[in-house]
Structure 1
Amino acid sequence: MDANTVSLSYGRGHLQLDLPAKARPMLIRKQPLAKIADPHAAIAEALENPVNACSLAALSKGRKSACILICDITRPVPNRLFLQPMIRTMSQAGIPLANISVLIATGLHRPNLGDELAELVGDPWVLQNVRVENHFARNDAAHVDLGHTPTRNTPVKIDRLFADADLRIATGLVEPHFMAGWSGGRKVIAPGVAHHETIRTFHSARFMEDPLAVQCNLVGNPLHEEQLEIVRMLGEVYALNTVIDEDRDLVCVTFGDIIASHQAAVDFVGASTHIATPRKFATVVTSSAGYPLDKTYYQTIKGMVTPLDILAPGGTLIIASECSEGFGSEEFREAQARLVELGPDRFLATLTAKSLAEIDEWQTEMQLKPMRVGRVELYTTGLSEDDRRLTAVTMIDDIKAAVERSIIRSGDDAVAIIPEGPYVVPRHVAPDERRTADA
């Protein structure tokens, strides 16, 4: 492949991009991680030797029921690898299959049904042998009220199917998250299976505008701290955490205490995900990480926020996202319409006084971050003309031409290319900082 030809994750495949001849590209990828040669053996080992917990077989003895949380379709979690062995272990330890449930942690996203549900679970045996349900955050009767968090007074209501189970296990994917630091672990519970009031409280502006509520940061991050308090209020909970590479192959799996096992996975993937760059760029080209994260414009915003540390003020951020499913929820559409009508400053002013955010307006609030830094341009094949207008960003039909225009505007021919979008977190590290770190 030519030095000025790059491949971006896009939909279920890749988008080939020929850069202008004058461009000097810098490719930014995660540090390579070794694939696990035998994923089934690695999962069995994790279940037998957990982090800060007994084995799953021992944990299952004497329990009358169990509930396993899985992420919704927006996360490429390899559920097909671990659900059946987990369920069989529980069953062999004495929990009846009829009392084992799999709950899809939809948060406030739509349910996953039909063929999509089969794709998500990835194992017909699971669908045939245990109860599989979607979480519905707006169903008041389906939640248990645990009171309020002690520090920030967030109302805590959790799906009854999970809260009432004897054995509770969250499963998920550990990857950078643009608000909560890292996905997986405690995040699968809240917002995953939390009531809409819980979700809307810690997605309000007092959390979202906190400078520590950013990707790859857990220290002082108010969302992470609130999620930990919710876990402690819930009581005994375990987690199985996975890390995958660009090919969606397993590179790490941990099981055990929900906080400790999640931290172990974060420790494993953190260094490979944070990529230092010696400069900022006036042109950054990225993606929304391909399917399933680029199914909607709602999810695409994550890819706009992650590379901001290397975008020069006034620079151009170009993002490619298929948006095969369109825009997102009606609530998100309404928030974007308000942004278009009011402009960024007036829109933000409508949020800061609220203690309870409107559903999905927090994603529009996150879009304000790249808009404050520079120009955002979107390449997509999945949005209607009305949807394109509501993005409030510049639409482009030719990425190569957009890169060329950006180079001309800035007078800088260096271009940062991030093929895997929000799964990679580039960070500008000045030369003097590098020397200090190496000393």
Structure 2
Amino acid sequence: MDFHLLYGRSELRVTVPPSIKVREIVKHPMPILPDGDRPLRQAFAEPIGSKPLAELARGRDNACILICDITRPVPNGRILPPLIDTLIEAGIDRQRILILVATGLHRPNEGEELRELIGSDDIFSSIRIENHFARDREAHIDLGSTSGGIPIGIDRRFYEADLRLVTGLVEPHFMAGYSGGRKVVAPGVAYQDTILTFHTAQVLEHPCAANCVMAGNPLHQAQMEIVKRIGEIYAVNVVIDDKRRLGRVTFGEIEASHLAAVDFMRRYAEIDVERRYRTIVTSAGGYPLDRTYYQTVKGMVSPLDILEPGGTIIIASECSEGMGSREFVAAQQEFCRLGMDRFMRMLNGRDKALIDEWQTEMLVKPLRQGSIQLYTTNLSEQDLQKTGVAWIASLSEAIAASTSRHNDPDIAVIPEGPYVVPRFRPPD
């Protein structure tokens, strides 16, 4: 039997013998919106919890639009043209519109990469586009602290804008429950101390800081406090299917429009599975998510609910840009040097995380439950030694070895990786 995994900009074909029984776990079929601007303009005209976009924009002096960085497959080329046209038609001068790339602590997006991110040559050449830099203290305004003591620093360009708009992709997120909405603000355009404080082990080890969980999620709760402290924000949230086609658009007040998109996405991305598996084969989601090993960790965490304790996760990730940031590499080196228990004791003793070490902390979660094997074609031997997991040269051979080792021919395959979250739901 053959199956396919998302890998880079294409797919990997994997062949297994008939003796191995494959259960593919994919999104439920999603209704697809028609091409063109109409679905976007309809969402702008029929908002959730706010006035229509044209009314909101009328009389405003300027606007700041947040967009996700290159690590998210947001269809900006489809969202931004009708969004900006609506602002201009309502009277905001083109020169007074800023697109701000919500990088969080990721690197900036520039040059041809920025053009690809924007997805429209007309927007790229006619609208001011800038990156957020979380480490620049003077670029942020101090808004006090959350009830949990998290300092709130927000990019001045966004906070001081007359009309604040957020665009985002709603998908399962392994810490915040679901991405999109408030997450594009914090950590998207937050100061580094804000980001480092709500990424501590005390927050991320909470049982509700998990995929598809928002009720009681301390990260989500902190994000909502932050957006409420900022004040008036409106959001465009989109949902896409496994072919990256648009399935839903919501516009309106940031919390209400986000929750509506989340409610829609739950029906398609959360998949009930009646048993657990000793062998799970998955991907890191393909391009652009699998450009680094840093992002690959998301695909390791997503299937945990259906992993039999002691089982094996086999994951394919292109890692075309290598490991990720130098801070993440340093965290991985410490993890490999100290081991799981000592590494976690070190993190639990901090009241502020180090940059990007939280991704290594999330790697600990699947390693507590089983083993991980990585297939990639772009990490050096030196880098592979820093991954903290085993490297495999062949997916087919690794699958055969795992089913033999566990004496179980049944495997679960998740072609789309972290964009799908299987839930263990035994039959009644």
* Structure 1 runs (4+) greater than 2 angstroms displaced: none
What's the counterpart of residue 188 of structure 1? 184
Match of 1:288 among 284, 301, 326: 284
Letter of the structure 2 residue corresponding to residue 96 of structure 1: D
Match of 2:243 among 244, 247, 253: 247
Query: What does residue range 31-430 of structure 1 map to in structure 2 within 5 Å?
Result: 31-150=28-147, 152-430=148-426
Letter of the structure 2 residue corresponding to residue 197 of structure 1: D
1:127 deviates by 1.8
1:281-326, CA deviations, whole angstroms, 9 ceiling, x for partnerless residues?
A: 0000000110000000000000000000001010010000000111
Contact 1:213 1:222 in 2 (8 A): yes
1:82 deviates by 1.6
Matched pairs, number: 428
Contact 1:306 1:425 in 2 (8 A): yes
SS of residue in 1 equivalent to 2:291:
coil
The answer for unaligned runs of 5 or more in structure 1 is 433-439
1:399-423, CA deviations, whole angstroms, 9 ceiling, x for partnerless residues?
A: 1111111111111111000000000
Letter of the structure 2 residue corresponding to residue 97 of structure 1: R
Letter of the structure 2 residue corresponding to residue 68 of structure 1: I
Percent sequence identity is 54
The normalised TM-score by structure 1 is 0.97
1:38 deviates by 3.0
Letter of the structure 1 residue corresponding to residue 95 of structure 2: A
1:20 deviates by 3.1
Q: Let me know the Cα RMSD of the aligned residues.
A: 0.8
1:39 deviates by 4.2
SS of residue in 2 equivalent to 1:390:
coil
Contact 1:31 1:273 in 2 (8 A): yes
Contact 1:39 1:250 in 2 (8 A): no
The answer for unaligned runs of 5 or more in structure 2 is none
Letter of the structure 2 residue corresponding to residue 62 of structure 1: G
SS of residue in 1 equivalent to 2:300:
helix
What's the counterpart of residue 435 of structure 1? none
1:71 deviates by 0.3
Letter of the structure 2 residue corresponding to residue 137 of structure 1: A
Letter of the structure 2 residue corresponding to residue 265 of structure 1: A
Supply the distance in 2 between the matched residues of 1:398 and 1:81 (Cα, whole angstroms). 38
Letter of the structure 2 residue corresponding to residue 243 of structure 1: V
Contact 1:206 1:352 in 2 (8 A): yes
Supply the distance in 2 between the matched residues of 1:413 and 1:202 (Cα, whole angstroms). 42
